[in-house]
Amino acid sequence: MSSLRFLCQRCSQPLKPRPSAETEDAPAQGEPGDPREASAISWEGTESEKLQGSASCASLLAHGETPKDNADRFTLLGKSDPMRTLGTIQKAAGDIFDILSGERVVDHPLCEECTDRLLEQLDGSLCLADLDCENYRRRLRSGELAGEDEARRDALRAALRDLEQEEARLARELEDVDRDRARVAAGLEAARAETAGLEERGRRHRRDYSALKGRQLELLDELRSAENRLRRARAQLHRLQEIDVFSTAFEIQAEGPLGVINNLRLGCLPSVPVGWSEIGAAWGQVALLLLALANTAGLAFRRYRLVPRGNRSYLRSLVAGDDAELPLYYQAAQKAFCDDKFDSAMVAFLDCMQQFAHEAGEGARGLRLPYRILAERGVLEDAGGGRECYSIRTRSNTEERWTKALKFMLVNFTWSLAWASLRYRRK
C-alpha cells in the first residue's frame, strides 16, 4: 500500500498518506485472521481501485490536456454505476454534508491547500448567488420590477428624444456659428486690408503733409522777405515822394548880388570876379533845368532846341535854312562883353524861357513869375522896382546890370521849381 502514490488534480503535487491511518493499522498486522485486517485490506483494495480508476478516468477525459489546464474543474468520482437509485443519491448527498461539516475525510485526490482555495471560491460564489436571490425576491415582493423597467425605458426614450432635439438644435447653432465665424473672418480680413490701405494712405499723407509743411515754411520765409522788401520799398517810395526832385537836383540860392545854382555862380562883378569856366558851367545847369521844366509841362520849343552839355551847352536854331549853334559859354578868343554869339545865345535862351512861362501860366493855378520876360528886347522887367528893365546881353552893358538880370532869371527859376514840384506831386 506504501507503493501507491496519487496526484492532486489542481497543483499536480503527490498526495501524502495520513500518519494516523498507518499507526492505527499497525497493531492489527500481527493478528492474522482478524476481521479488521480483512476489512482494512478490503477497504484499501476498494479505495485503491477507486482512486486508480479515478486517476485513469481523469487522464482519459482530459483528451491530452495536462492537469494544470483543468485546475479549476473538480469532479468527485466514485464507482461507475450506470443505474443510480434514490438510495445512492441520498448517500452521495449525505457524504457531501459530512465532508462540508468535517465529519468525514475527503477520499479524492486533492491536497489541503487546493481544497481550502476551492472552499473559498465556493463560499464567494454562494454569497453572490445569495445576494442575487435576495434582490430578485425584493423586486418580486414590491411588484415594481416590470413596471419600473417600462417607465424607465419610456423616460429614457423621452430623454433620448430631447437629447436628439437638443443635438439637432446645437448642430443648427453650430452651423450658424460657423457661418457667422466665416463671415466675421471675411469681414476681419477685409478690415485688415482696409486698415493696411488706410495706414499706407496715412503714411503717404504724412509724407505729403511734411513736404507741404516744408514748402509752406519756405514760402513763409519768402513772403516775410518779400514783405520786408516791400516795406523798405514803400518807405523808400514815401521818402522819395516827400523829396522835391527839382529842389534836390537844382539848388538855387543867392550869394550877395550873385545868383548861385548848384554851387556855381552865375555872373561877375568887379569886386567879385568869377571865372568864365564857372559861368559856363552855371549856364549848363540852367539849360538843364529849363529843359527839365519844359518836359514836365509837355512843352516843345518852337524856334530853338536846347542842348545842355555842362560848360559847353548851346542852342541850335530850328529855323529852316539856319542851323547855327549859339553857345552858352564865353569863348576866350573873343573880347569880354563883346561876344555877339554869346549874347544871341542868352537872348535865345530867354525866348525859350518865355515860351515855358507862357505855357505854365495857363489856367487858374498857372505859373506867375515875379520878373516879366521880354524876349524880343532881351530884358527882364522888375515889376516892383518902377518897371526897370535889365538886359541879358553883355554888349553895351555893365557887369552889375548883367549880373542882376541873371539873378532875376534865377529867381524866376526858383518860382518855376516850386510850381513844377507841386504839379509833380499832384501827378
User: Of 114, 88, 98, 97, which is closest to residue 6 (Cα–Cα)?
Assistant: 114
Q: Give residue 102's pLDDT.
A: 64
For residues 311 and 274, the answer to whether their CB atoms sit within 8 Å is no
By three-state DSSP, how is residue 380 classified?
A: strand
Helix (H) or strand (E) holding 420: helix 399-426
Which residues are bridge partners to 261 per DSSP? 252, 264
Q: Give residue 213's pLDDT.
A: 95
Q: Give residue 314's pLDDT.
A: 92
Contacts of 286-290 with CB under 8 Å at 24 or more apart are 286/261, 286/349, 286/409, 286/410, 286/413, 287/313, 287/328, 287/349, 288/250, 288/313, 289/246, 289/250, 289/261, 289/413, 289/417, 290/349, 290/352, 290/353, 290/356, 290/413
Report the distance separating Cα 112 and Cα 278, nearest Å. Answer: 175
Q: Give residue 33's pLDDT.
A: 40
Q: Give residue 404's pLDDT.
A: 92
Q: Give residue 394's pLDDT.
A: 87
**pLDDT tens digits, residue range 84-138?**
677 777 787 777 777 677 666 555 567 888 888 888 889 899 999 999 898 888 8
Q: Give residue 418's pLDDT.
A: 87
With a threshold of 0.85, does the pTM exceed it?
Answer: no
Q: Give residue 127's pLDDT.
A: 93
Report the distance separating Cα 142 and Cα 167, nearest Å. Answer: 38
**pLDDT tens digits, residue range 343-402?**
899 999 999 999 999 888 876 677 888 899 998 888 998 877 677 889 999 888 899 999
CA distances from 425 to 79, 170, 249, 298 (A): 170, 101, 16, 16
Q: Give residue 15's pLDDT.
A: 72
Q: Which residues of the chain have pLDDT under 70?
A: 1-6, 16-84, 99, 102-109, 143-148, 320-321, 331-339, 363-364, 385, 424-427
Q: Give residue 205's pLDDT.
A: 95
